Amino acid sequence: MRSTLLLPALLLGITATAQVVPHEHDAAHVGMVETDAAVTSIQQVPLLLCDNDRIQPRITLKNNGTLVLATATITYGVSGVPQANFSWEGSLQPEQTLNVDLPQITVPTGEHVLVATVSEPNGITDPVPGNDSWSFPFSVNNPGGLITFALTLDDFGSDVTWILETNLGTTLYEGGPYPDNDAGEQVLVPFCLTNDCYVFTIFDVFGDGICCTEGEGSYVIYDIDSLIYAESDGQYAFENSNEFCVTVVGLQEQGPLFDLVTYPNPTTGLLNVQRSALEGPVHMELSDASGRILRSWRSMAELDVLDLTDMPDGMYLLACKGVPGTTVKPVVLSR
């Protein structure tokens, strides 16, 4: 009835090797060829890169041919940005592997798949292209802010697991189960999150939550300024879920130079935008968390009603540009 004890699986900055496509072109299956280079792993890339935009991958290069591998070209990068090329030279014996440190590259904020491909072994076309590439999924949060998850356990920590996902469903962090008979013990887990919306879900396999029959458990998610993003008193059945949006460093905000009030915020679609009286019209801009402008208009009124019903849930930035300067407010759309 009670689950066995495991340790949390994903911590900030953990590096790992992910095999995306099985390599079926091993020499034992296709027969030995004179020249065949392969990439068999990607290392030194964190699953979550926090408050940074540069990675320096290390790949494992393997010689699957019968001749010594002396030269090869390694192409690597993520989609949407120019790919990098690295010319490798050395002496790699047949069936041997070698770690190759690649030059540093810059990657944008978001979810990515890093792909490294080897080509032109010893200056010729690789006759076995099926083992040339390796892929590794990871996420970049830049700018990134420290958000803390504080979990207070009940007596049956072995029942408890949790997961933090992006609004696209990608898992960023997960944890549990925990030891039993530790009621009142607090588990602190740091998250590195950027300007986006997230879904936190906690599970209880027994279906009695973490309060109050077996101890007074609870959880809270907050930032360094003690702003609470999500919390629960532990009184739920099999699971409890909270969606929240985060605004961290990186907003181009000068002010507030004048009052800009948005309500209700979060909104389900219709947003009232009220500003203090200014001389002349103001320029309004609505952008997403990455800074891409979605709407732009001039306003003469002190109160505007903004219809967001045709937009997806998430966090947006509303900028009001007047004579004194610019004031920016985060807007959360959540239905």
Say whether 238 sits in a helix, a strand or coil.
coil
pLDDT at 2: 43
pLDDT at 294: 85
pLDDT at 117 over 90: yes
CA distance 109 to 21: 25
pLDDT at 178 over 70: yes
The alpha helices in the chain, defined as continuous H runs, are 27-30
All structural domains of the chain with their residue ranges: 27-141, 145-246, 260-333
What are the DSSP calls for 83-151, one per residue? PEEEEEEEEE-TT-EEEEEPPPEE--SEEEEEEEEEE-GGGS--S-GGGSEEEEEEEEESS-EEEEEEE
CA distance 294 to 273: 16
- Beta-carbon contacts of 290 under 8 Å, excluding residues fewer than 6 positions away, are 109, 110, 195
Architecture of the domain made up of 260-333: Sandwich (2.60)
Say whether 211 sits in a helix, a strand or coil.
coil
pLDDT at 114 over 90: yes
Per residue in 28-80, pLDDT (tens digit) is 444 679 999 999 999 999 888 888 889 999 999 999 999 999 999 999 999 88
Say whether 324 sits in a helix, a strand or coil.
coil
Cis omega (within 30 of 0) for bond into 256:
yes
Pick the CATH number of 145-246 from 3.90.930, 2.60.120, 2.60.40, 2.60.60: 2.60.60
Per residue in 231-253, pLDDT (tens digit) is 999 999 999 999 998 887 554 43
Pick the CATH number of 27-141 from 3.40.50.720, 2.60.40.10, 3.40.50.2300, 3.60.21.10: 2.60.40.10
**Identity of the highest mean pLDDT range in 14-23, 199-208, 292-301:** 199-208
Percentage above 70 pLDDT, the chain: 82
pLDDT at 220: 93
Tokens 């890093």 locate to 114
DSSP 8-state code for residue 3: P
Q: Which two tokens stand for residue 190?
A: 């740091």
Q: Do domains 27-141 and 145-246 have the same CATH topology?
A: no
Look over the chain and give the mean of its residue pLDDT values, rounded to a whole number.
Answer: 83
CA distance 189 to 139: 18
